[in-house]
């Protein structure tokens, strides 16, 4: 009887400690002003934090993560991409009709400086036209498990039928980061892009992801901004063999997306360090 009582006492004490631990972990979660956010383990998909993670949002240029990974899977690095008049006419591009680049180089320009015309040119080169490539993007999203996402263009320009969620963007980011070529592209801080046509023409690209310079262990991946989407960012970082991905959507301003993603990554790494194998996956902070 005494042994039985001791077992019950130990069980109750363990449960109480677990509840206290959970409450402390929840209290330590950062105060995020972004409309939606999530932090996941890149390797396992375990959710460490979420806020409105399934709310529909405009993904802005985070869309280009899907454009890039599809191009890497469906083309070769040396494939030549010639910029069409349609691609050159897109808002926010440094490209002109007839410019020609290797696929590897135009993808670098697209991801590093978020060149919208480059995204359109890539989609046309791989899919034939915008509608066909968007269909490929949507099929890939379903394959990845991003089932609350729908694309209508390659670059993320606002459209009522072009949307995603923080959770889905995290899934797409994690999938893409398993591709070594993708990882190299989004981890590049600065690079000269050399064109085939005009011969000798170059564009110097500085990555729009400021965390590559300011956050310890940052490995990528993609910024986004439109007046409709506001500040967006998917950011990955690795510490002690663990890689996490944070996604923030509809941040108040350009800089807040970086500071809040950094705070979320810090929180995620703290959670990873505190979780035991038995508790892993059981607790995730959910912002109310």
Q: Residues annotated as binding site for substrate?
A: 222
Residue 283 DSSP SS3: coil
Annotated catalytic, 84?
no
- Candidates 51, 64, 140, 191; catalytic one: 64
CA distance 84 to 38: 37
By C-alpha distance, which of 20, 38, 43 is closest to 219? 43
How big, in percent rounded to 5, are the helix, strand and coil portions of the chain?
Answer: 45, 20, 35
- Candidates 11, 55, 76, 114; catalytic one: 114
* 8 A C-beta contact, residue 221 and residue 227: no
Annotated catalytic, 64?
yes
Query: Binding site membership: which residues?
Result: 222
Annotated catalytic, 114?
yes
CA distance 98 to 80: 12
- Candidates 61, 84, 164, 251; catalytic one: 61
Buried b (16+ CB within 10 A) or exposed e, 168-182: bbbbbbbbbbeeeeb
CA distance 87 to 226: 18
DSSP state at residue 163? B
Structure tokens at 231: 């500040």
The residues carrying an active-site annotation are: 61, 64, 114
């Amino acid at each position: 009887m005494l042994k039985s009582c001791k077992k019950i006492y130990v069980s109750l004490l363990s449960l109480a400690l677990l509840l206290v631990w959970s409450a402390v972990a929840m209290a330590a979660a950062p105060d995020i002003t972004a409309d939606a956010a999530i932090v996941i383990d890149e390797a396992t998909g375990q959710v460490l934090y979420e806020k409105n993670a399934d709310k529909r949002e405009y993904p802005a240029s985070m869309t280009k993560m899907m454009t890039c990974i599809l191009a890497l899977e469906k083309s070769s690095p040396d494939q030549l991409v010639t910029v069409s008049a349609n691609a050159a006419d897109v808002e926010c591009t440094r490209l002109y009709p007839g410019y020609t680049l290797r696929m590897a180089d135009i993808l670098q320009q697209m991801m590093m400086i978020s060149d919208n015309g480059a995204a359109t040119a890539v989609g046309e080169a791989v899919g034939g036209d915008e509608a066909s490539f968007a269909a490929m993007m949507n099929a890939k999203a379903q394959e990845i498990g991003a089932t609350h996402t729908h694309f209508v263009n390659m670059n993320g320009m606002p459209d009522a039928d072009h949307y995603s969620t923080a959770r889905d963007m995290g899934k797409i980011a994690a999938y893409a980061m398993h591709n070594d070529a993708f990882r190299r592209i989004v981890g590049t801080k600065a690079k000269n892009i050399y064109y085939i046509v005009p011969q000798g023409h170059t564009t110097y690209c500085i990555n729009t992801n400021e965390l590559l310079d300011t956050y310890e262990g940052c490995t990528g991946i993609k910024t986004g901004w439109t007046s409709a989407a506001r500040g967006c960012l998917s950011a990955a970082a690795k510490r002690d063999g663990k890689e996490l991905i944070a996604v923030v959507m509809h941040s108040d301003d350009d800089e807040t997306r970086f500071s809040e993603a950094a705070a979320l990554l810090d929180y995620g790494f703290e959670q990873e360090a505190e979780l035991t194998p038995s508790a892993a996956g059981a607790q995730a902070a959910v912002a109310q």
